[in-house]
């Protein structure tokens, strides 16, 4: 990765009208409805953006969208990238570096995740309070990383404390169940075995998914305040495990998404 590559991509997007966004948003699996609330000014397919990866997952649409939401300029990743698609961690997080270079001051991330904590129910939301990186690498493990920020990035508080407090307040005001918990990021794409679910519970995970942590690490590397919310789409009870239906997971994410949109809009408005 080099600064010239980032400059080329940023220059292209600025020429397309992506000017001075304040907020960056990453939409996870089955979580595309937020776009319907945005006054869209520009949108570009990932495949048309220089140096951008292209999403290979059928339910990730692969567009970068620019517009206005709650009187703020936002740039939205509709579809994200995953290690399980064959990308490197640098590829997966390249868009976060681009959003920061475009000028965003805050990053909001969503994902669909499985509930390890069995007091959390399918369709609930979880505010990620901390995470466990089980993806076997770091998006900061490349030679010239110090060209972009501190190599030994501190992760004692990876999720912005102020935004977390605000989101809890909004959830309480709107009567939305918002758990707080630890998100474990695995590689995938296979789902977890019963033994793996037990292991995740033992090490302190409340939810498990295949994304988000690389983006959060890079946001911290860039001193970019970040917050993340999981939509819990299935309950991962190893004693009563049944085969996973991906279509049902997508449908559950879609049904729970309006609550997430309410939280994100409330946070952006302030």
pLDDT, position 68: 97
8-state DSSP, 179: E
Quote the pTM value.
Answer: 0.95
Weakest-pLDDT range from 169-183, 208-222, 241-255: 241-255
Task: Kindly indicate the confidence band of residue 255, based on its pLDDT and cuts at 50, 70 and 90.
Answer: confident
Alpha-carbon gap, residue 252 to 260, rounded angstroms: 13
Helix (H) or strand (E) holding 43: strand 39-45
- Condensed to tens digits (0 to 9), the pLDDT of residues 164-202 reads 999 999 999 999 999 999 999 999 999 999 999 999 999
pLDDT, position 58: 55
- Condensed to tens digits (0 to 9), the pLDDT of residues 77-101 reads 998 899 999 999 999 999 999 999 9
Alpha-carbon gap, residue 114 to 248, rounded angstroms: 12
- Condensed to tens digits (0 to 9), the pLDDT of residues 106-146 reads 999 999 999 999 999 999 999 999 999 999 999 999 999 98
Q: State the DSSP string of 72-96.
A: EEEEEEES---GGGT--HHHHHHHH
Q: Which domains does the chain have, with CATH numbers?
A: 3-269 (3.40.50.1580)
Alpha-carbon gap, residue 76 to 23, rounded angstroms: 8
- Condensed to tens digits (0 to 9), the pLDDT of residues 3-49 reads 889 999 999 999 999 999 999 999 987 777 889 999 999 999 999 99
Chain centroid to CA 262:
17
pLDDT, position 106: 98
Alpha-carbon gap, residue 156 to 164, rounded angstroms: 15
pLDDT of 60 > 70? The answer is: no
């Amino acid at each position: 990765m080099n600064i010239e590559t980032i400059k080329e991509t940023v220059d292209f997007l600025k020429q397309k009208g992506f000017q001075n966004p304040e907020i960056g948003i990453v939409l996870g699996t089955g979580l595309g409805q937020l776009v319907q609330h945005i006054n869209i000014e520009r949108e570009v397919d990932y495949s048309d953006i220089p140096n951008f990866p292209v999403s290979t997952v059928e339910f990730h649409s692969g567009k970068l969208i620019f517009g206005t939401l709650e009187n703020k300029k936002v740039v939205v990743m509709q579809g994200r990238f995953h290690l399980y698609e064959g990308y490197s961690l640098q590829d997966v997080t390249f868009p976060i570096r681009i959003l920061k270079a475009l000028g965003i001051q805050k990053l909001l991330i969503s994902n669909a995740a499985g509930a390890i904590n069995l007091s959390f129910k399918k369709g609930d939301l979880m505010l990620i309070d901390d995470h466990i990186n089980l993806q076997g690498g770091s998006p900061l493990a490349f030679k010239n990383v110090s060209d972009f920020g501190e190599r030994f990035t501190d992760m004692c508080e990876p999720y912005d404390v102020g935004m977390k407090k605000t989101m809890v307040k909004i959830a309480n005001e709107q009567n939305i169940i918002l758990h707080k918990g630890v998100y474990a990021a695995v590689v995938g794409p296979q789902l977890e075995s019963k033994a793996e679910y037990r292991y995740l519970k033992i090490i302190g995970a409340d939810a498990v998914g295949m994304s988000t942590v690389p983006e959060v690490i890079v946001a911290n590397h860039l001193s970019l305040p970040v917050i993340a919310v999981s939509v819990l789409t299935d309950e991962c009870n190893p004693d009563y495990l049944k085969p996973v239906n991906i279509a049902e997971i997508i449908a559950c994410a879609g049904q729970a998404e309006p609550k997430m949109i309410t939280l994100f809009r409330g946070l952006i408005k302030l």
